[in-house]
Amino acid sequence: MIEEELRAELKDALKSKDTARSNVIRAITTEVQKRKAEPGFAGVVDDALYLEVMASFAKKMDKARREYEGYGERGAEQAAKLAFEVEYVSKWLPTKLDEDATRALVEQVVDELGVAGDPSATGRVMGTVMKAHKDDLDGAVVNRIVREVLAG
């Protein structure tokens, strides 16, 4: 179970004084506890909940990392910290297609639908791509690529 793995990882991180690792584990644990405390939460704390929280956490941290990278040298340290957190959490998450594979998939759907050069078809292309490959793709990356491809 992921919860037990994280507990063992935290113990090891604390022993080895690995602050970066212990911080990310504590952040995930806190997010899970917040979810559990939400009104109407009737589920159980299981691997599915941990995976959901970790996926959300990784997505938020990756977005923040990209923003810090935009600050150049001033944001480099924080961007590196966030990149570590995303990489650490990602070992529990299913792998997503990379940008090149995503672009190939989007281009294939655009060709199949015959909507090349039609930016108004963004929703249709997004829906088709995500319906068929939701678990394999990052929605934000798909959205960006669909807009690029349709813009020509």
Please name which of 13, 50, 14 lies closest in space to residue 31, comparing C-alpha atoms: 50
In angstroms, the CA 79 to CA 57 distance is: 15
Same domain, 12 and 69: yes
Same domain, 85 and 106: no
Boundary (domain end) residue, out of 48, 70, 90:
90
Other CB atoms within a 10 A radius of the CB of residue 17 amount to 8
Q: Which domain holds residue 32?
A: 2-90
Same domain, 137 and 111: yes
In angstroms, the CA 115 to CA 41 distance is: 42
pLDDT of residue 106: 93
pTM of the model: 0.69
pLDDT of residue 97: 83
pLDDT of residue 94: 83
Side-chain half-sphere CA neighbours of 119 within 13 A: 5
Q: What's the structural domain count of the chain? A: 2
Same domain, 11 and 58: yes
CATH of the domain at 84: 1.10.1510
Same domain, 55 and 106: no
The residue ranges of the chain whose pLDDT is under 50 are: none
Same domain, 103 and 86: no
